[in-house]
Amino acid sequence: MPIVILMQSQLPKKNHPVSRQQPSAASQSYVLSPQSAWINYAKEEAQSHAPRHLATLTKIFAGVVFSPLSALLKGTGLDRAATIANRLISTNLYPDWNQQDIHTLTEELLTLYPDRPLIFRNICPDVNPTFCAALQKNGWTLIPARIVYLCDPRQASLWKRNHVKKDARLLTTNELEIVPPHQLKSTDLPQLRQLFRDLFIHKHSGLNPDFTPDFFELCLESGFLDLYGLRYQGKWAGVLGIYEPPDSNWITTPLIGYDTTLPQEAGIYRCLMALLLNQASLRHKRLHYSSGASQFKRARGGHASLEYTAVYSLHLSKSRRLWNMLFAKTLQTIAPSILKKADKL
């Protein structure tokens, strides 16, 4: 889908990417498609976690549950939305914009996209409380999207956790070599990309963003993500991409991968997460663990927080506004309890 640059002369940072959505295919990544984010990915997760003997029943149940939601979403027009400041990664991080900032931004957006719903992904009150409140005061609706895990490396108790200490020891093993961004070469990138794809695309879901070779080159050249490689016994075994926008107090990792053929005892994923936690501490930033792997992240200091997608539809037709209201009310009613139950699995 096309990406455009929105010029915002009244805001501190003037240029923000906007992804303009068209009615999406079932295979489109959730970082672009609301249909995939709310419907397709959730349906896929429900089916993948179902016991094998209940697979058929789960598929039928998922169809019963998600088909009405899909019909509601189609009525909202969100499959043609303009998503603001969308970097097309799992977790966007924002400045803590205030009420006047959002008022100015909303007015500018309405002149550019008068017939499209407007979206901000990854809105979390525990990450950007001022921004979150400013959106609501300017008529944006917060719709539950997922559970994320947040961590503050400044807390001394974090470093006393058994899992954190064990991971740190594992990271210093003589068989493991950490290769920082300035030591990586273009010739290393194809192998690192394959590690990412083996984990996130092949093992997990084709609805995850699939980063191209050019994206890896961009990260190496511009530092959009700080790429770290891990060598285990002399071979590439893991890759980590750290996202640290200069106008945020948080870091996160939208890109992680490891050699899925290595024995679990090698602990490459644990080493990558220990590296991420160390970097958050060294950079004096809080750590956004994103979603998934709830027990793993809780054991390493992550606390669960509900994340939302903010939608603005007050400029649309009366029927579109009604559909948006129904969709929002439905998810506001049922999604928090479903997400919290899934968080405990």
pLDDT at 54: 55
Indicate whether 190 pLDDT > 50. Answer: yes
Cα angle for residues 9, 11, 12 (degrees, 5° grid): 110
Indicate whether 7 pLDDT > 70. Answer: no
Q: Tell me what the mean pLDDT of segment 334-339 comes to.
A: 87
Helix, strand, coil fractions of the chain, as percent rounded to 5: 45, 20, 30
pTM, to two decimals? 0.91
The position carrying tokens 């959505």 is: 21
Say if CB 135 and CB 105 are below 8 A apart.
no
Q: Tell me what the mean pLDDT of segment 260-283 comes to.
A: 95
Segments making up each domain of the chain, as ranges: 3-146+306-343, 154-284
Q: Tell me what the mean pLDDT of segment 66-78 comes to.
A: 90
pLDDT at 173: 83
Q: Which CATH architecture has domain 154-284?
A: 3-Layer(aba) Sandwich (3.40)
Q: How confident is the model at residue 195 (pLDDT cuts 50, 70, 90)?
A: very high
Cβ-based neighbours of 63, under 8 Å, separated by 6 or more: none
